[in-house]
Amino acid sequence: MTDNILNIRPASETKWDCASFGEVMLRFDPGFGRVRNARQFQVWEGGGEYNVARAFRKCWGKRSTAVTALPVNDLGWLVEDLMMQGGVDTSHIIWREFDGLGRNTRVGLNFTEKGFGVRPALGCSDRGHSAASQIRPGEVNWEKLFGEEGVRWFHTGGIFAALASNTAEAVIEAVEVARKYGTVISYDLNYRASLWKSQGGKEGAQKVNRHIAQYVDVMIGNEEDFTACLGFEVEGLDEHISSIDPANFKKMIQTAVKEFPNFKVAATTLRNAKTASVNDWSAILYAGGEFYASMMRENLEIYDRVGGGDGFASGLAFGFMEGKGPQAAVEYGAAHGALAMTTPGDTSMVRQAEVEAVMKGKGARVIR
């Protein structure tokens, strides 16, 4: 069942409801301490693209697979085991032989602090020469995935495209084939200046992302993402991108949709970080020539903000996939993103019923 905004393939015609394409890293979490003087870490798997596929399976009960690459060693097998615990199919992993030292390939590591109060969240990545960053066009059998197996919704994003020129080329190859077989394509711009620095900075980001954008049905990103990755301006945006007037942001979305008429849906989360622990949180979605706003959650208490945007993306996709319409889609996305930020790690740990309870405005009472 779908609405008339997105033509989503029937489940009966496909093996997968969702396929993601990107790097899956190990996240080392020092709790509420600092990375710089930690004596122990909790380890999670995570990746901007993978998190959406995992939520499809664990929260929404859908069939999901992830396309990525890992080294043949114990760290690669650890990532695989964590993915399997998340219910995500691993049959499309590219396995790379390991030289025993990590000069040729490795698992990307991401050391991330939650932040607290006036101390913001902090990320320190150690992901050079990772297996996924070496994926090149021609390595993945996209004809098999999208043609023979069939996928209803394909999700990838700007973080993976930014890793190297070859990953950007691989994303382009993937979206071309996905479009050929009528798969809905969602793309999270997810701008990271540190990643694009070696790929030509903002100019390089815009060149790559504007190429990819012509294939995208559902474009996701916040105000900085649209300005840095696609070159659109947002009136009233301060230099630190800490707050935004939604009315001016709507104007920017309208401009983007005129330039890229293939954007059937454009969406963003709106976050005003008062402190690391308290944010105002909402979302806006454009679909069918209209704008839809989620409930505004003022002073939302944050446990771990990483993954909130990915939670939004998966909830939005679920709403459309179930034919619930754009207003429900933005509400599912915003509520799921809010809940994702109440637990540690990058991935969602909630169920559909919990999301729907939050959508109805129910407080933190005991669920039996």
Q: What is the pLDDT of residues 83-95, one digit of tens each?
A: 999 999 999 999 9
Mean pLDDT of 121-149: 96
- Give the pLDDT confidence score for residue 224 in this predicted structure: 81
The rounded distance, in Å, linking the Cα atoms of 337 and 316 is: 10
- Give the pLDDT confidence score for residue 242 in this predicted structure: 45
The rounded distance, in Å, linking the Cα atoms of 347 and 310 is: 8
User: CB atoms < 10 A from the CB of 249, how many?
Assistant: 22
- Give the pLDDT confidence score for residue 2 in this predicted structure: 44
Q: Where are the alpha helices (DSSP H) in the chain?
A: 50-58, 74-85, 142, 158-162, 165-180, 193-196, 201-213, 223-230, 246-259, 308-321, 326-340, 352-359
Mean pLDDT of 147-157: 98
- Give the pLDDT confidence score for residue 266 in this predicted structure: 95
Q: Does the residue 120 lie in any domain? A: no
Smallest Cα–Cα separation from 306: which of 113, 159, 158, 162? 113
CB contact at 8 A, 229 and 191: yes
Q: Does the residue 73 lie in any domain? A: yes
Q: Does the residue 332 lie in any domain? A: yes
DSSP string covering 254-315: HHHHHH-TT-SEEEEEEEEESSSSEEEEEEEEEETTEEEEPPPEEEEE-S--TTHHHHHHHH
Reported as a single tens digit per residue, the pLDDT across 20-44 is: 999 999 999 999 999 999 999 999 9
Where in the sequence is the domain holding 322, given as residue range(s)?
Answer: 16-24+48-105+133-360
What CATH number does the domain containing 174 carry?
3.40.1190.20
Coil, helix or strand at residue 134: helix
Q: Check: pTM over 0.85? Answer yes or no.
A: yes
Q: Does the residue 198 lie in any domain? A: yes
- Range name among 127-131, 231-235, 323-327 with the lowest pLDDT average: 231-235
Q: Does the residue 365 lie in any domain? A: no
Residue count (the chain): 368
Model confidence at 60: pLDDT above 80 = yes
- Give the pLDDT confidence score for residue 240 in this predicted structure: 47
Confidence of residue 367 (pLDDT cuts 50, 70, 90): low
Q: Does the residue 36 lie in any domain? A: no
Q: Where are the alpha helices (DSSP H) in 12-73?
A: 50-58
- Give the pLDDT confidence score for residue 234 in this predicted structure: 65
The amino acid that residue 137 corresponds to is: P
Mean pLDDT of 63-67: 98
Domain count, the chain: 1
- Give the pLDDT confidence score for residue 253 in this predicted structure: 86
The amino acid that residue 57 corresponds to is: R
The mean predicted confidence, pLDDT, of the chain is: 93
Q: Does the residue 202 lie in any domain? A: yes
Q: Does the residue 152 lie in any domain? A: yes
Strand pairing report for 122-126 and 109-113: antiparallel
Distances (CA, A) of 94 to 130, 187, 239, 317: 12, 22, 41, 26
- Range name among 82-86, 141-145, 165-169, 231-235 with the lowest pLDDT average: 231-235
Reported as a single tens digit per residue, the pLDDT across 338-366 is: 999 999 999 999 999 999 999 998 766 55
Residues 6 or more apart in contact with residue 304 via CB below 8 angstroms: 114, 341, 343, 344, 345
Smallest Cα–Cα separation from 183: which of 5, 18, 3? 18
- Give the pLDDT confidence score for residue 251 in this predicted structure: 82
The rounded distance, in Å, linking the Cα atoms of 118 and 183 is: 43
Radius of gyration for the alpha carbons in the chain, expressed in angstroms and rounded: 19
Reported as a single tens digit per residue, the pLDDT across 233-275 is: 766 555 444 455 677 778 888 889 999 999 999 999 999 999 9
Classify residue 14 as exposed, middle or buried by CB count within 10 Å of its CB (0-12, 13-18, 19+): buried
